[in-house]
Amino acid sequence: MTTLKALVVDDASFVRDLVKRTVRQRFPVIETTDAQNGRRAQSLMSRTTFDLVLCDWEMPEMSGLELLQWMRQQPHYQKVPFIMITSRGDKDHVVEAVKEGVSEYLGKPFSPEGLSKKIIKVMGRRLKEAMDGSGKSMDGPADAFRESADLLTQKREVAPPKPAASAPNPAADNPLLAAGRQGGSAGRSAQKASMTVASVRFSDSTLKSVVKDVNLTEVRVIAKRDQVFPGILDQAVVDIDTGEGQMARLNGYVHQLQAVDKRQDTDFVSVTIRFVDEDPKKMEDLSRFVARFRAAAR
């Protein structure tokens, strides 16, 4: 049986594990090795030839773009597929990666289906032949464990409580203003954090929310319940304005979902995102944000 080799590069072990698990479940003919940054990946690639590289952009010591630049200068790696998996999805970064020879670009957070499609696209006939040779189908069914996990962690749209008859509310689409007018503990908390609106991105939805608390390990946000909520352990990217027009994109996963009030018809849900990045630059950006948030909350 033909075995292909893939190198997974990301400074967050949680993301590396997600990628490796997806590859292992969908493509059993691909053997995975991982590295925590571009420098380590470069060392591994100098000793072993890989058939596919799946790499983050922002990493300490050597970024994904620098690894891609080095890789395309090596004769035996000039045509090896390179998939950039990153939270940097703006046009300028995509264009820059394409110029340097990236094969495909996948935004974080990603779904297993999205990653699988990218791998099939860049590996093409070589992957199909390897799968056929092993007796496996490219569209084979998911294993029972993954199906069970999907049932436990699937995203759901929480039905809002029936609204009481009232005059139109111009702040209805603003979770912060709505929380402030709602009264109670949720309203006071959101009103106090009125300058800290957060955007939390998941693989197929974005949660509009306000920051309730944040530290170097996790962030807790409050969102109106009439949105699509993620599942426990779902990947997340938290976009944080660090000031002066700079945006930090912090990778994490859903650690906790909890009703804000102790009643079934609560209007707000608390979501805790646990950070997974190990990039010193991101930690520096996060530290500045935490200090600014705590100063504003006094």
When the pLDDT of each residue in the chain is averaged and rounded to a whole number, the result is: 82
Was domain 169-297 assigned CATH 3.30.365.10?
A: no
- In the chain, CATH 3.40.50.2300 covers 4-141
Q: Which residues contact 4 (CB under 8 A, 6 or more apart)?
A: 27, 29, 30, 31, 51, 52, 123, 126, 127, 130
Position 116 scores a pLDDT of 96
Q: Which of 153, 249, 159 is nearest to 198 (CA)?
A: 249
Contact at 8 Å (CB) between 292 and 286?
no
Least-confidence region, from 16-25, 163-172, 288-297? 163-172
Position 152 scores a pLDDT of 40
Least-confidence region, from 28-37, 71-80, 194-203, 268-277? 194-203
Position 181 scores a pLDDT of 43
pLDDT in tens, 162-182: 444 333 343 344 444 444 444
pLDDT at 12 over 70: yes
Position 272 scores a pLDDT of 97
- In the chain, CATH 2.40.10.220 covers 169-297
Position 139 scores a pLDDT of 53
pLDDT in tens, 84-93: 998 876 778 8
Q: Sheet containing 52-55: which strands, arranged edge to edge?
A: 30-35, 4-9, 52-55, 82-86, 104-107
| CB contact burial 231-240 (16+ within 10 A = b; e otherwise) | beebbbbbeb
Least-confidence region, from 57-61, 224-228, 266-270, 291-295? 291-295
Residue 217 buriedness (CB in 10 A; 0-12 / 13-18 / 19+) = exposed
pLDDT at 239 over 80: yes
Q: Which residue has the higher pLDDT, 211 or 182?
A: 211
Confidence of residue 161 (pLDDT cuts 50, 70, 90): very low
- Percentage of the chain lying above the pLDDT 70 cut: 78
Architecture of domain 4-141: 3-Layer(aba) Sandwich (3.40)
Confidence of residue 258 (pLDDT cuts 50, 70, 90): very high
Residue 93 CA: distances (Å) to CA of 10, 105, 127, 237: 17, 10, 28, 17
State mean pLDDT over 7-29. Answer: 95
Residue 124 buriedness (CB in 10 A; 0-12 / 13-18 / 19+) = exposed
Claim: this prediction has a pTM higher than 0.85: no
Q: Which residue has the higher pLDDT, 99 or 173?
A: 99
Position 159 scores a pLDDT of 45
- Percentage of the chain lying above the pLDDT 90 cut: 57
